[in-house]
Amino acid sequence: MNLSSPKSRNVVYPSGLSPDELAALLSDEPLYRVKQAFSWFSKGIASFGAMTNIPQPLRERLSAHFDGHMRSSGVENKLIDEDGSLKLQIRLRDGAAVECVLLEDIEGRKTACLSSQAGCPMGCVFCKTGTLGFLRNLGPDEIVEQFHYLRDMRGFISNVVFMGMGEPLLNLDNVRKAIAILSNPHGIGMSMRKITISTSGIVPGILDIAKDGPIVRLAVSLTSANPELRTCLMPVNRTWPLDKLKAALLEYQKITNDRITLEVVLIGNVNAREKDAQELADWIHPLKTQVNLIAWNPIPGMPFETPSAKQVRQFSEILEQRGIVTVQRMSRGRGVMGACGQLGDTLKAKQ
């Protein structure tokens, strides 16, 4: 086996290797060895030495190929909120950093919120990550490693949401590959129905996954059904306005027959009024949706305010009266700037 050094190329580290890529890397090894190695890698094994059913010479070659590193990134900081939420700052191989979050609901279900890009190009004005600008896409290994770090610290994780830093549909190839690895039955084996991709409304990407998958759950950050207001809050509306977005969602639903989640971040005195709820209800018809209402999470330096519980409740009641399934989402992780829209704030302490 002739393995070139990762120092000489932009190598994908073990947790981001597909079975086919691993088979090519181990081309002179029997197929069962490839399956064994993939199982170890995709499950996030911590060291090459722990691959107990792999012969030592092969373990040593693999270790040498990756310069002894099983992972390409490392945990630089972690913060734990009083509600139990865990936020990690991950330092990538080139010095860039991303954040990921582990959220646990009142029933004990654990959800990994993963980032797909370092920074974000979308510029949503109510989102901390949107103020950072865009640095680069993450590779599949850098995405899957976030999951492994969270699981190392918190055990079994039932759900994955691509709702962290970045726009997943602008890094769709690598997100697809990460999902394929996480859902592979020889590795983690996560159900595709337990994985959600959240987008700000990238129309070509929505149509792409409708046609070619992955068939996971789709969430769309809508925030407002008023064209002018949505453009002010979410610049993506200039490129893919509400009419084009709705046409894409109707096509997606025609192909998949799946219900779509619409995420609405409610901002006090901006989009939480009765007329905003009525406009949203009008726009939704005839889509089959669930609307998640998320009270805006405070971000230092931003000129917005969190709506009152009464405002959120009244907004929800208007939608429900129109026959729309509505969920008022609890904001978890606020204490460590790990809630919706807060990622990217510098972590201040190790815990």
Tell me the catalytic residues. 99, 340
Yes or no: say if 67 and 6 are a contact pair by the CB < 8 Å rule. yes
Yes or no: say if 93 and 122 are a contact pair by the CB < 8 Å rule. no
For residue 73, the SS3 value is coil
Q: CA–CA distance from 220 to each of 125, 226, 330 (Å)? A: 17, 15, 18
**How far apart, in whole angstroms, are the C-alpha atoms of residue 37 and residue 48?**
10
Cite the beta strand spans of the chain per DSSP E: 74-80, 86-91, 97-104, 110-113, 117-119, 134-137, 159-162, 195-199, 217-221, 260-266, 289-295, 325-328
Tokens of 156: 């079994």
Task: Tell me the residue type at 66.
Answer: F
**How far apart, in whole angstroms, are the C-alpha atoms of residue 96 and residue 88?**
14
Beta bridge partners of 325: 290
